[in-house]
Structure 1
């Protein structure tokens, strides 16, 4: 087996463990509340050692929120050089597609997370802080690509609009009878928004 294949398998295993811990943390929070279980309880539920758990997440809050998927370096490099389409909005959407290719939540997961957010104010605050961090991270990516002449406020607005489309796609995913995947719903929201702003 090649070194790259071994690395890929290792990364996949790490991601699967991270996802298992997060799902266990979310279920424990749903059943007992955020203060109703310990990190030891979480380690036992996820079938990992306490040391392994802390290697992944420093706190219960972090475990419940989970890791956000890493965008492949090659995809980021293509974005940085102005690709793959040469259109900033479409290329940012390509980054979103890369994230969804790694983590495609189902309806049950989305319902669970939204329920937890509505009943745990600390989680909502932590999620908002993470949202702001992701916005800043991607703002820097846009500014690196577009150059110093691109207004920071404009970049932030664009990213907030795209994240709003993503959130709308999540809401649609929860609708009764909806059979489309999250990435399909995101594409619909993006296309509809383009039509609204160009009509």
Structure 2
């Protein structure tokens, strides 16, 4: 049995294929294209600055048309803010033992997912988070993504607990979890050379799980 070699250029897009259980040639090609666009966008933002980089330059660097770029990333902001980890984390969350509390299950799911990613992927995530926190335009645009992530968390928790996703308690929980992650990211970004962002997020979730003692 032969195994396709792993191309580090498409590592950022592997989560989506894993979540879908798909290893088709078409899906791998789409994953590589998406990852290449995002990788080149981040490189240009680092070299030239976010505001100084155009969509045209990103498309040219990734060797795709602008229409292709927009199929993967509808806006320039999405080249930083969009990722495909949510469905992978949700799948790992549902795979946790039923006796675990939602927070414990979510913490373990995030550990499982991010323990398996490469150093290259971790660096891409670090670059994206720093840009999202430091570029005013991206910070404003990230509000939409925050809302979407809260909905994802609420739906996953509702399915695990047998409640409705629009239940106030479920949505409050999802909002609190998202707030803990945001606080962790700001804390991490404010300390150059600080510990791994995922460890900081885990500490924030642990604090939330303990009832936020001060």
TM-score calculated relative to the size of structure 2: 0.66
1:14-93 counterparts in 2 under 5 A? 14-15=30-31, 17-26=33-42, 31=48, 38-69=54-85, 70-71=87-88, 75-79=92-96, 83=97, 85-93=99-107
| SS of 1:7 mapped into structure 2 | coil
- Alpha-carbon contact 1:165-1:186 (below 8 Å) kept: yes
TM-score calculated relative to the size of structure 1: 0.70
Take 1:6 and 1:142, find their aligned partners in 2: how far apart are those partners?
25
Task: Say if 2:110 is the partner of 1:96.
Answer: yes
Task: Give the root-mean-square deviation of aligned CA atoms.
Answer: 3.8
Corresponding position of 2:11:
none
Q: Among residues 134, 142, 146, which one is paired with 2:149 in the alignment? A: 134
1:85-124 counterparts in 2 under 5 A? 85-98=99-112, 100-101=114-115, 102=117, 104-105=122-123, 107-116=126-135, 118=136, 120=137, 123-124=138-139
- Alpha-carbon contact 1:169-1:185 (below 8 Å) kept: yes
Query: How many equivalent pairs are there?
Result: 190
The verdict on how the C-alpha distance between 1:11 and 1:94 changes in structure 2, with shifts beyond 3 A counting, is: farther
- Alpha-carbon contact 2:77-2:141 (below 8 Å) kept: yes
User: Could you list the runs of 5+ residues in structure 2 that have no partner in the other structure?
Assistant: 5-17
Take 1:186 and 1:8, find their aligned partners in 2: how far apart are those partners?
34
- Alpha-carbon contact 1:71-1:98 (below 8 Å) kept: no
Corresponding position of 2:176:
161
The verdict on how the C-alpha distance between 1:108 and 1:57 changes in structure 2, with shifts beyond 3 A counting, is: closer
